[in-house]
Amino acid sequence: MKQRSLGNTGELVSAIGLGCMGMTGRYGPADEAENIGVLNRALDIGLNFWDTADMYGNGENEKLLAKVLSSRREEVFLATKFAFRPDGSGKMGVDGSPAYARQAIDASLRRLKVEYVDLYYAHRVDPGVPVEETVGAMGELVKAGKVRYVGICEAAAENIRRAHGEYPLAAVQSEYSLLTRGPEESIIPTCLQLGIAFVPYSPLSRGLVTAAMPEPETMAADDFRRSLPRFKGENLERNKKLVEEFAALASSLGCSPAQLALAWVLHQGETLLPIPGTKRLKYLEENAASVDIVLEKETLARIQALLSAHPTAGPRYDPGNLDLVDR
């Protein structure tokens, strides 16, 4: 597996990571034995940049990873996150307070059964807490030996600069893919200027640009894509036109749509470290092979022509989730 630098940290991690969220829900049922097989195989092929969060499966995702970390901790560059927290009404809110950062890391370490995490993200920017306070507290966790590096997710460029000024950020994570290109405007350039790694989540557009995406009516009842505007009605029909033409292009190049989509993300810059998620061995191997695909200028131009001809239909989140994104 090819490696890339994690910003200016001097750390090398696998050029693509493994998003683990789907192993404990959100995308339908999952099998624990199969998940553990995927996690072990990921390490066998050198895919060591793992991404989880305390909210995934209400902590069950971290507990799942612990079953592999117990014997292979030193092989993993482990990232987890905090800040999502139910409010008094049960609705999901954001808590970036220093007190909660300290509480959350201790809980994550217990679930993961490790002494430290390599990368600790604030999952969202708390509008009620200055980002300097949140990141400053995370920096204290580094000094305490519980965290090695810190990062933030879905942050606007201004807050990235403010956070980095308080404590050096190793990584910024935001959604980025063929269908979600907003970070190109200011977030990716800011990360590049400051020497911060940019970690795209959902680089396969939650499966929309792959050949494996099921029709919405066949998705599991708890598959959260059912709530996403891009997967509904006229938006979905319009997006399918791009997906179909993109699949044809991938076929002509001798690769899968997922591999072409990941190769495109990787070609956007050496500072990018996409973290596609999967709970299937087949797709793990497929995704890993994308690091070896070289895209010529002509191919990149053809992809851009497709994107221009078929603009993405629908926002990436429903209004409630969009309200939690720092814009």
Catalytically annotated residue among 27, 56, 176, 283:
56
State the CB neighbour count (10 A cutoff) for residue 150.
26
Nearest to 296 by CA among 308, 287, 304, 288: 304
d(CA 77, CA 273): 13
| The two structure tokens encoding residue 18 | 């493994």
Q: Is there a catalytic annotation at residue 56?
A: yes
Query: What residues form DSSP beta bridges with 93?
Result: 85
Nearest to 78 by CA among 118, 22, 39, 121: 118
Is the Cβ–Cβ distance between 84 and 153 less than 8 Å?
no
- The DSSP output letter for 272 is B
Please give the full DSSP string across 100-144, using - where no structure is assigned.
Answer: HHHHHHHHHHHHHT-S-EEEEEESS--TTS-HHHHHHHHHHHHHT
d(CA 80, CA 102): 14
Is the Cβ–Cβ distance between 26 and 61 less than 8 Å?
no
Is the Cβ–Cβ distance between 275 and 199 less than 8 Å?
yes
Active site residues: 56
